[in-house]
Amino acid sequence: MNKENINPNPGSAGTSDAKLGALLRESRVSPELPPRFHEGVWRRIEEADAPVKSTAGITWLDALVTLVLRPRLALATAAVLIVAGALLGVRDGNLMAHHDAQARYLAAVAPHSLR
């Protein structure tokens, strides 16, 4: 495939590009920055990097939640909560079964005493 040169003067292509580039560089307008602009930028960067300080103080519950929600401990926390829920469910089930057994025994021994 042959490429045709679309420039009318093949020898002047390099010089016209250089002239155009120089004109474009001269025509750029750089706006004046507001006073203390750089200081404000660095201050905002330092504030973003600084840890957040709360005026009310961190409660024990906030500290616990912060500790538990760390990715390293999240799986262990979920496992502990599931096991604790299962154990509480078993305990509650045993208490209900014990109460039902007492009620059945009382109904078998003295059926008319519940009325």
Task: Determine the pLDDT at residue 95.
Answer: 96
Q: What is the pTM of this model?
A: 0.40
Chain centroid offset of residue 1 CA = 55
CA 35 to chain centre: 35
Confidence of residue 82 (pLDDT cuts 50, 70, 90): very high
